[in-house]
Amino acid sequence: MLLAGKKVVVVGGSSGIGLAAAEMARREGADVIIASRNVERLDKVAEKLNAIAIPADVTSDDSVANLFHRCGPVDHVVVTAAQLCTGSFKAVAMEDVRATMEGKFWGAWRVAREAEIRPGGSLTLVSGFLSVRPRPNSAIVSAANGALESLARALALELAPVRVNAVSPGVIDTPIRAAMPEEARRDMLAKTAAALPVGRVGAAEDIARQISAFMANGFATGSIVYIDGGALVI
């Protein structure tokens, strides 16, 4: 088992990619702590995984400080927490775009500052392929993802010997689109799948596999890996 005896924290571990990363780390023998805001959902998932649940909100300095105070020294940290507000550039409200950066970018920043990661351990950020393949109505997400990828490279230097990497997913079928009308969601996923060389959209496990690889591979730092089903070559 690749992570036997290691302590892994997944911030955003109650759903989607974070949940798959937490499950995989458990299967690889790690002790896992998951953190997110909705306590009921967090506790339910933690019980199922036999993991520890610590409620936290990455938009709050105090909450993130409290999380890592409770965790103590750890081996690997993964940040998947994000809640995105998008819209057309001219129309989207400033409070919405600020909220997107507050969670996705500053959230990861706070985690990187507060986590006490043992030498040789790792921090994995999750960005998104819109950083390099923008789409209309998502400028703030492209900007947040691009900033996260730059941050991962900068922190690979500044936090060494802790290793810092980012995985940049393409379209992954997770609860992140739960608010979309079901038919529109299915239609969008089917069209995306048909356009991709792999003929399908991603599953959370596809990204979790890369997160696991970053944890286990002691030579990986400053890497940005795009796992997108070929979205960048079409």
What is the residue whose two structure tokens read 């810092």? 164
d(CA 150, CA 32): 27
Q: How far is the CB of 174 from ligand NAP (least distance, A)?
A: 3
- Report if residue 200 touches ligand NAP, rule: CB under 6 A: no
Q: Report which residue's Cβ sits closest to ligand NAP.
A: 16
142 versus 221: smaller Cβ distance to ligand NAP:
142
Residue type, 220: A
- Report if residue 205 touches ligand NAP, rule: CB under 6 A: no
Q: How far is the CB of 120 from ligand NAP (least distance, A)?
A: 25
- Report if residue 121 touches ligand NAP, rule: CB under 6 A: no
16 versus 121: smaller Cβ distance to ligand NAP:
16
7 versus 104: smaller Cβ distance to ligand NAP:
104
Cβ neighbours, 10 Å, residue 217: 14
118 versus 205: smaller Cβ distance to ligand NAP:
205
What string of DSSP letters covers 194-219? Answer: HHSTTSS-B-HHHHHHHHHHHHH-TT
User: Could you say which of 28, 57, 114, 205 contacts ligand NAP (CB under 6 A)?
Assistant: 57
- Report if residue 15 touches ligand NAP, rule: CB under 6 A: yes
Helix (H) or strand (E) holding 226: strand 224-227
Q: How far is the CB of 90 from ligand NAP (least distance, A)?
A: 23
DSSP H helical ranges for the chain: 16-27, 39-49, 61-71, 94-114, 139-158, 182-195, 204-216
User: With b meaning 16 or more CB within 10 Å and e meaning fewer, what string describes 108-127?
Assistant: bbbbbebbebeeebbbbbbb
Q: How far is the CB of 23 from ligand NAP (least distance, A)?
A: 12
In eight-state DSSP terms, residue 5 is: T
- Report if residue 146 touches ligand NAP, rule: CB under 6 A: no
User: Could you say which of 16, 121, 146, 229 contacts ligand NAP (CB under 6 A)?
Assistant: 16
Burial of 74 from C-beta contacts in 10 A (0-12 / 13-18 / 19+): buried
Interface positions with ligand NAP (CB under 6 A)? 12, 14-18, 36-38, 41, 56-59, 80-84, 103-104, 107, 126, 128, 169, 171-172, 174-176
